[in-house]
Amino acid sequence: MPDILIDLMPFIFFAVVVISLLMGFPVAFTLGGVAVLFGTLMLGPEFLSLLPLRIWGVMSNFVLIAVPMFVFMGVMFERSGIAEELLETMALIFGKIRGGLAIGVLLVGALLGASTGIVGATVVTMGVISLPVMLKRGCAKEDSTGVIAASGTLGQIIPPSIILILLGSVMNIPVGDLFMSAVIPGLILVGLYLIWVLLLNFIKPSAFPPMSDEEIAAFKKERLKRLFTAFFLPSVLIILVLGSIFMGVASPTEAAGVGALGAMGLAALRKKLNFQTISEVSKKTVTITTMALMILIGATAFSLVFRELEGDVVLTNLIMSSEISPWIFLLIVMLIIFMLGFLIDFIEIIFIVVPIVDPIFRHFGMDMLWIAILIAMNLQTSFLTPPFGFSLFYLKGVSPPEIKTTDIYKGVVPYIIIQVVALLIVVFVPALVRVL
């Protein structure tokens, strides 16, 4: 085989995977199947003996045990009604302010993100509860759907985030360090969202009208009880989970176990912990976790073949010979990840793109913790970017018939711009990820 064809083989392999994904083939089986095919043809049958060892190394990764437990915690919050009560309470606390409903939705999105890390559960819960209320009060359709979809994605940058756990596994960075580094960028994003909501109400007073005096008066009668059960107890659990990680008392896996047990305790206090609830939560947890781990197994095969074909070496040599600067390379990678977010899922991007660019960033001597946070913030936009943003699908699925897909698309545009602004802030102020 000619040398030039050998050099091109990693890129042919990569192109076949991407084309197969765009044609609609299942992600996990596409990654694994194409990898086994190319590995056998190019590296010989003995390549197959390497796969079980590599897959076993992934499956025995102690950190990944945190994934199902954080998922369990989030689904339990949703199924037990804790998330619903939290959303209603926050909306009533800020209900008298113009834009108070939207502020309540944003803050609940941040709190649920800090307790679950699951976009689907957060968006669906807030869409079912808050969207009909917002429409009933005359809130604009585009603005309402935009703030709900955007706040639901906050769980992907605010710890504990599934994105951060998977990035830590792929990039060999301690998950606890990633969690701590993501706090300030996450708060910056929440702050920018809040500024936009307040600015939008100034520009367009009809966007989020205040709640009625009757509803506020009814809430005041049971304010203390609602604040304790719906806000204080979940907040204590979140602080215990994240605080134990940040203070070094527990690993992310151990803290996830505490979170799962705590979520069951809160459900029991609400008298919602029964066999049916546990069964439903467990089935949902197994479904979500299995999907993620099957993709991880396929991605492991992909990365093994790509490196055995010396794709990382060829790409690194190509970048080095072009004398491209680290900043230009970073810009190119960020643009590629952002554009891929319009077409494919964040898990696919993590397991396909990140292993390829990781060694080049390391070769440039860049701060990998900073790079990981930039990638996480960039991946967060993939949940909002049409046409395949998952948040858009989730919200459309639970929206009233009068909400059109175009309403949701229009509503998320300002928040996509805000996410890009937040990303640029962290790009130009790298120290933000090291504050804690």
- Cβ atoms of 143 and 208 closer than 8 Å: yes
Q: 217-221, 318-322, 345-349, 358-362: which has the minimum mean pLDDT?
A: 217-221
Mean pLDDT over 177-181 rounds to 88
Mean pLDDT over 286-314 rounds to 75
Q: For the chain, which residues make up each domain, given as ranges?
A: 3-434
pLDDT bracket for residue 345 (50, 70, 90): low
Higher pLDDT, 345 or 327: 327
pLDDT bracket for residue 136 (50, 70, 90): confident
Q: Token pair of 300, please?
A: 């492991």
Higher pLDDT, 112 or 424: 424
Buried b (16+ CB within 10 A) or exposed e, 283-307: ebbeebbeebbbbbbbbbbbbbbbe
Smallest Cα–Cα separation from 62: which of 243, 297, 251, 302? 251
Residue 219: predicted pLDDT? 60
Residue 251 φ then ψ, to 5°: -75, 165
pLDDT bracket for residue 221 (50, 70, 90): low
Q: How far is it, in rounded angstroms, from Cα 179 to Cα 252?
A: 9
Smallest Cα–Cα separation from 237: which of 222, 258, 220? 258
Higher pLDDT, 404 or 230: 404
Query: Three-state SS across 318-362?
Result: HHHHCCCCHHHHHHHHHHHHHHHCCCCCHHHHHHHCHHHHHHHHH
| Cα dihedral across residues 14, 20, 21, 22: positive or negative | positive
Higher pLDDT, 277 or 391: 277
**Greatest CA span in the chain, whole angstroms?**
80
Q: How far is it, in rounded angstroms, from Cα 80 to Cα 217?
A: 26
Residue 220: predicted pLDDT? 63
* % of the chain at pLDDT higher than 70: 81
Alpha helices in 23-118 (DSSP H): 27-43, 50-59, 66-79, 82-93, 100-115
Over the chain, what is the mean pLDDT?
A: 78
Q: 82-96, 278-292, 347-361: which has the minimum mean pLDDT?
A: 82-96
Alpha helices in 137-274 (DSSP H): 141-152, 162-171, 175-203, 213-221, 223-226, 233-246, 252-269
- Cβ atoms of 104 and 95 closer than 8 Å: yes
Residue 53: predicted pLDDT? 77
* % of the chain at pLDDT higher than 90: 7
Residue 192: predicted pLDDT? 93
Residue 374: predicted pLDDT? 93
Mean pLDDT over 342-349 rounds to 70
CA-angle at 381, arms to 430 and 107, nearest 5°? 85
Higher pLDDT, 243 or 412: 412
Residue 315: predicted pLDDT? 67
Residue 375: predicted pLDDT? 92
Mean pLDDT over 245-268 rounds to 81
pLDDT bracket for residue 188 (50, 70, 90): very high
> Looking at beta carbons, which pairs linking 60-66 to residues 24 or more positions away fall under 8 Å?
61/169, 62/251, 62/253, 63/165, 63/168, 63/169, 63/175, 63/251, 63/252, 63/253, 64/165, 64/169, 64/293, 64/296, 65/253, 65/256, 66/160, 66/165, 66/175, 66/252, 66/253, 66/255, 66/256
Mean pLDDT over 418-426 rounds to 92
Mean pLDDT over 386-394 rounds to 69
Residue 320: predicted pLDDT? 67
Q: Token pair of 77, please?
A: 């919050």
Express each pLDDT in 226-252 by its tens digit. 677 777 777 787 777 777 777 777 777
| Model confidence at 285: pLDDT above 90 | no
- Neighbouring CB atoms inside 10 A of 217's CB total 9
Mean pLDDT over 98-122 rounds to 71
Chain Cα centroid distance, residue 270 = 28
- Cβ atoms of 192 and 420 closer than 8 Å: no
Local structure of 249: helix, strand or coil: coil
Chain Cα centroid distance, residue 290 = 17
Query: Any residues with CB less than 8 A from the CB of 318 and at least 6 apart, and which?
Result: none
Mean pLDDT over 355-378 rounds to 89
| Model confidence at 403: pLDDT above 60 | yes
Residue 125: predicted pLDDT? 66
- Cβ atoms of 341 and 349 closer than 8 Å: yes
**What share of residues in the chain are helix, strand, coil (percent, to 5)?**
80, 0, 20
- Neighbouring CB atoms inside 10 A of 428's CB total 8
Residue 27 φ then ψ, to 5°: -60, -55
pLDDT bracket for residue 63 (50, 70, 90): low
pLDDT bracket for residue 370 (50, 70, 90): very high
